[in-house]
Amino acid sequence: MMLKDLITALEAADPNQTVRHGFANPHSYRGYYMDLAFEPAANVTVAAMLADARSALGATYQGYKGGDFTMDAYTDCWLSLEGEASGDSLGSLLLQLMLADPGTPREPQPAVVDGGQWATIRGLVDWLDEANGRTDEEITLRILKLAEETGEVGQAWIGVRGQNPRKGVTHTREDVADELCDVIVTAAVALASMLGDPAARLNAKLAKIAARSGVNV
């Protein structure tokens, strides 16, 4: 099955359905580096699988032994653990079997960032758009802003620990918390600059991480 067909098939399915034996983690398939593979995953929603499939469209992954491989609509899809050279072709029959085998339903999860907070995020995006536009170059700068904010978290924590003998203790844990909030806001602004529904993407990602980690929420 080509990536475009996989996306179309998942779009036609119930996004809230939980699949007992689904997939996650798109990557370059070791068997054929130019092909796309997903790792098997238990009790994942159709929405999470669709989000992973869409994220792979146009994405570039590094092959197992090097080289960059960009996936497009016509890329063939496989089901295989990352780094494994063998796998199963992810065809229409296998996908039908996945969707016909419901997993354990999960209760709807609360938003990590609530509606009011996303409204503020969108306001910040609009403010930046008005000043700078929203070209790929501008989005790149919004993403790179994360590196700056992350550095400030590290600087604040060094200040808490008094790591610099010349300066001593210069920050509090509250300062570190504030810097971490800046990282979250900056990441949310970058995400909202790229996607029309950042909340759904964030929640789907969190659900996938929780399922992979065995966290019951």
pLDDT of residue 94: 93
Q: Which residues contact 20 (CB under 8 A, 6 or more apart)?
A: 42, 43, 101, 102, 103, 104
Residue 27: band (very low, low, confident or very high) from pLDDT cuts 50, 70, 90: very high
pLDDT of residue 190: 95
Q: What percent of the chain has pLDDT over 70?
A: 93
State the chain's mean pLDDT as an integer.
89
CA angle 38, 73, 122 (to 5 degrees): 85
Is residue 109 within 8 A of residue 37, CB to CB? The reply is no
How is residue 208 written in tokens?
């996938």
How is residue 10 written in tokens?
């998942």
pLDDT at 52 over 70: yes
Per-residue model confidence as pLDDT tens digits over 150-204: 999 999 999 999 998 999 999 999 999 999 999 999 999 999 999 888 888 888 8
pLDDT at 141 over 90: yes
Give the pairing of strands 60-62 and 36-45.
Answer: unpaired
**Terminal CA-CA length for the chain:** 34
Burial 71-91 (b: 16+ CB within 10 A, else e): beeebbbbbbeeeeeebeebe
Q: Residue 186: what are its φ and ψ, rounded to 5°?
A: -60, -40
pLDDT at 81 over 60: yes
- Three-state SS annotation for 61-95: EECCCCCEEECCCCCEEEECCCCCCCCEECCHHHH
pTM of the predicted protein model:
0.51
pLDDT at 208 over 90: no
Residue 104: band (very low, low, confident or very high) from pLDDT cuts 50, 70, 90: low
pLDDT at 42 over 60: yes
